[in-house]
Structure 1
Amino acid sequence: MNNQPTALDAHLARAAAIHFKLTPLRQLADGHFGHDPDAIHWGHVGDLGRANQALDDLLAIFDGKAE
């Protein structure tokens, strides 16, 4: 009996893990990533710039349509 996961099994598990992480990411974004809106500084802007670039990189990997 073969108990080895197939590539499809692994793909589906990793896709599910990504979906699981998107919900809290959206919640964090809706809440200013835990920062007081009145205390936002350029360091926060830089952090979001790096996160935005990482998301663009991911999109480029999968659909080639990153901005």
Structure 2
Amino acid sequence: MMVMCIRKHCYCSEFSTLQDAPERCCINETQLPETEMTRQTARTNDAALAAFIAKKAEIDAMLARLQDFSEDHFGADPERLNWGDVGSLEYQAHLLKQISDFAFGEGEHAA
């Protein structure tokens, strides 16, 4: 039976038995031979990681745009500012508070 390291980034890759694995190999930490399930899990985790990184980049871009918009006073003209502008800003603050509360486990998301 061939035993494979379950972490692709590990410098050790294949061994005849667990005893042949180098002492510092991650397989000695888990003592699990690779199976179809671990290969499938690795593919799923790789896909999840790629999706997570893509979504994080999307959020980072939105945050950068919001920061620029904030520095421009949310597009409000001080000479023409009215209560509609205040209401719009209040609504945006409400939505951002929902996100912040969710992210930090605060408000209605507090444990």
TM-score normalised to the size of structure 1?
Answer: 0.79
Q: Could you say which residue in structure 2 is the equivalent of 1:57? A: 98
Candidates 8, 26, 29, aligned match of 2:49? 8
Candidates 44, 48, 61, aligned match of 2:89? 48
Distance 2:85 2:48 in 1: 39
Root mean square deviation of aligned Cα:
2.1
Q: How far apart are 1:54 and its partner, in Å? A: 0.5
TM-score normalised to the size of structure 2?
Answer: 0.51
**Count of residue pairs the alignment pairs up:** 65
Structure number with bigger Rg: 2
Q: Gaps spanning 5+ residues in structure 1: where? A: none
Greater percentage in helix: 1
- Match for 2:47: what amino acid? T
Q: How far apart are 1:65 and its partner, in Å? A: 2.8
Q: How far apart are 1:45 and its partner, in Å? A: 0.6
Q: Gaps spanning 5+ residues in structure 2: where? A: 1-39
Ranked by relative contact order (alpha carbons within 8 Å, sequence separation 6 or more), the top structure is: 2
